[in-house]
Structure 1
Amino acid sequence: MGEGRKLLHNSWSKWTSKCLGGQSEQVRKTEREKSFMTNGAILLEDLIPSSNGKCNPIRNFSAEELIRATNNFDESRIIQICSLFKQNQIIVDELDDTDRVTYAMYKGSLDDRPIIVKKFTDSQDDRQIIVKKFTKFSSWESDKVRSFPIRDIVIATQMSNHKHVLKLLGCCLEFPIPALVYEYAANGALNDQGGFGDDELLPWKIRLRISKELANALTYLHTALRRPVIHRDIRPSSIFLDKNFVPKLCNFSVSITIPLHETHARDDLEDTFGHSDPDSLASGFVTEKSDVYSFGVLLLVFLTGKKATGTLRLEGKYHSLIRYVEDHVQNEQVTEIVDPNILREGGGDGQAQQVEAFLALALACTQEKGEKRPDMIDVAKELMRIDKSI
């Protein structure tokens, strides 16, 4: 072990005592303790430049606590399974095309309160996540997969005080790949059509309010931290709803920080199922406008009640929600793209004007070229104006 990593191990032990209430007993030669020290050193290495030396206290959960909380990560506790890939295009593109970097969200109970536990794995079949919870990775693979939850923790600790971000309660570093523990969100994640549950619908006013509140959270992410952070994975599965349908943004696993004195960051990019910025995919540069594009697609999902990709192929010529919407707008067929459930609400002229303005904003956000899109702060202001218009 190099001197730098030794120093990080020592610093990590001190940091956990202050912020995580770490382990007081002498480090034993066990797999969990080795994982704790390895993960902790890497986490601290990322936290120092991101947090400007300030401690963001979160709780350190033991592996035993999370195993009890989720009944040993029982299949029945799974509330969401997501993969960080598109078809065979892996974010960690050096991995074999049959592999997946996958995480599952489990409902748990700890100290008589409900929680959500996020656990990463790799799997060729999402169903195998149930039996591969504690898969041993090679050292190289572990480092690659570990980077996702570490990044998630680093950003989430800085965002957890925002009321529209799923609050990170703590993490467990005793597994080979760290696990994250969040507050519970009673209504789960948005589904692909912008509703909740299997097929539950949201009224127009709630869709509009959720959009406004998410724009506020993204504006904070872009402007309020030490350096701008780009979420890079804005889609329904990254948004949870509490019991009052208040949106909670989560999943910062692939977020990226814009370097000092720069307006963009270069990184290997992935297509997140129709939500990704084509300008960034073509150039290889991530900017704040990349999130604006993805958010615009999300607005169209709310407006139409359709998935970003997939189902539209049934109409014969549309391969993305944006192309579908643009074609109907050009042919002055706006009412045909609006979710019929919104139209059936009968909100009158006021609601019709809101829908029209909402559509115009979504189309502005999804302009092909990033420089033609509004900044997220302007998107938030416009959504606030639309919400207050009636």
Structure 2
Amino acid sequence: MGGSRGPSKKERKRHILEHGGKLLEERIICCKDKCRCNPIRNFPAEQLLTATNNFQSCSVGSDRFFEWYKCSIDDLPVLIKKYNASEPKIFNHVLKNAYRDIAISSQMSSHRNALKLLGCCLEFSAPALVYEHAEYGPLNYVGGIDGDHSPLSWKMRLKVAIGTGNAIAYLHNAFSRPIVNRDIIPSHIFLDKDYVSKFSEFGFSIIIPEGETHVEDEIVGTLGFLDPNYFQTSRVTEHSDVYSFGVLLLVLVTGKNSYEMMEHEEKLGTITKYVIDLAEEEQFREIVDSEILGGGGIYEEKEEEFKAFIKLALSCTNLGERPSMIEVVKELIKIERLSPS
């Protein structure tokens, strides 16, 4: 936007009409039957432009489709997600994601482990979403917090896993038709001041039709977290999310990226293969992030806890039968109870 104050009045009115109609259609699709569709506050473009210095400062992270800004509106700290309209070839795809993100976020805003959507602005060429503030921002690609922060403790990582799992299980079960997220990755998980996880991204979400177990759709998501079954068949099921969540669990316990350099092979491989190879050799100390161990050994009770967590993660990434998200969360809660306070 350079030093300008954004789109002209005429452009803003046109954007509101275009986005407003499409967003209404999207909310009708997503809020069918008894689904709750919470009100969405409208934020004027001037407020967002002032808060972010015309989107020239306050940036705290970006994606191909959007950028995050940490700022204040009316003295209230907020996060703004501004969708990116700079790539003409994918512009319509970006808009589709933005509308779906707003519609699903509004339904999820009452959930403790979803980043609360405060409202949006439709006056730009692509929408901007305004969310509650999250003190520690998003997790990085290895499941940690960027900046001058201590590594997350094992208890905190369990808390993140359970909170995120609760949000995904809610997506799958709380509405008249299951909603599959399709992009469960660390950078979509924010932490508030109490280290409560807040899931933030619903643009790739898809609804399973009533009475169906799957839906066929284009392949979207993040490599390394993408369910191989979905990748090969284009069939989306709730278990597509279970796979991605399993990879997230492996990232949390290992402190490693979703792709790892395979020992002795000098090539990249999935974190799933990396963990399976070590688990088969009972090398659990090699699997668990050294930041969790703190240089100490794994005593017997703790080893059983890590084994249970790793076994659960690998059951989620199994190419055959997988547990449901509700079953996964129940197992995580059991593991948390094993962990000493």
* TM-score normalized with structure 2 length: 0.91
> Is 1:380 equivalent to 2:329 in the alignment?
yes
Matched residues in 2 for 1:348 and 1:310: separation? 27
Asked if the contact 1:189–1:196 (Cα under 8 Å) also holds between the matched residues in 2, the reply is yes
Matched residues in 2 for 1:220 and 1:345: separation? 38
Describe how 1:326-365 pairs up with structure 2 within 5 A.
Answer: 326-344=276-294, 348-365=299-316
Asked if the contact 2:261–2:267 (Cα under 8 Å) also holds between the matched residues in 1, the reply is no
Matched residues in 2 for 1:68 and 1:226: separation? 40
> Is 1:111 equivalent to 2:111 in the alignment?
no
Distance change in 2, residues 1:313/1:275 (3 Å): farther
User: What SS does the aligned partner of 1:41 have?
Assistant: helix
1:71, distance to aligned residue in structure 2 (A): 1.6
Greater mean alpha carbon deviation, residues 32-41 or residues 268-277: 268-277
Asked if the contact 1:187–1:196 (Cα under 8 Å) also holds between the matched residues in 2, the reply is yes
> Is 1:169 equivalent to 2:132 in the alignment?
no
> Is 1:38 equivalent to 2:18 in the alignment?
yes
Asked if the contact 1:313–1:319 (Cα under 8 Å) also holds between the matched residues in 2, the reply is no
* TM-score normalized with structure 1 length: 0.80
Matched residues in 2 for 1:311 and 1:109: separation? 41
What is the aligned partner in structure 2 of residue 217 from structure 1?
167
Greater mean alpha carbon deviation, residues 380-389 or residues 192-201: 192-201
> Is 1:73 equivalent to 2:24 in the alignment?
no
Distance change in 2, residues 1:353/1:171 (3 Å): same
User: What SS does the aligned partner of 2:259 have?
Assistant: coil
Describe how 1:175-324 pairs up with structure 2 within 5 A.
Answer: 175-198=124-147, 200-309=150-259, 316-324=266-274
Matched residues in 2 for 1:193 and 1:219: separation? 23
Asked if the contact 1:268–1:284 (Cα under 8 Å) also holds between the matched residues in 2, the reply is yes
1:331, distance to aligned residue in structure 2 (A): 2.0
Asked if the contact 1:51–1:226 (Cα under 8 Å) also holds between the matched residues in 2, the reply is no
What is the aligned partner in structure 2 of residue 48 from structure 1?
28
Q: Which runs of 5+ in 2 are unaligned?
A: 1-7
What is the aligned partner in structure 2 of residue 63 from structure 1?
45
Q: Which runs of 5+ in 1 are unaligned?
A: 1-27, 84-101, 125-136
Describe how 1:92-107 pairs up with structure 2 within 5 A.
Answer: 102-107=65-70
User: What SS does the aligned partner of 1:319 have?
Assistant: strand
Asked if the contact 1:318–1:324 (Cα under 8 Å) also holds between the matched residues in 2, the reply is no
Figure out how many residues of one structure are paired with residues of the other and give that number. 328
Matched residues in 2 for 1:298 and 1:336: separation? 18
Q: Percent identity?
A: 45
1:141, distance to aligned residue in structure 2 (A): 5.1
1:313, distance to aligned residue in structure 2 (A): 7.7
1:279, distance to aligned residue in structure 2 (A): 0.6
What is the aligned partner in structure 1 of residue 5 from structure 2?
none
Asked if the contact 1:310–1:319 (Cα under 8 Å) also holds between the matched residues in 2, the reply is yes
Asked if the contact 1:158–1:225 (Cα under 8 Å) also holds between the matched residues in 2, the reply is no
Q: Which amino acid aligns with 1:214?
A: T
Asked if the contact 1:164–1:214 (Cα under 8 Å) also holds between the matched residues in 2, the reply is yes
> Is 1:158 equivalent to 2:107 in the alignment?
yes
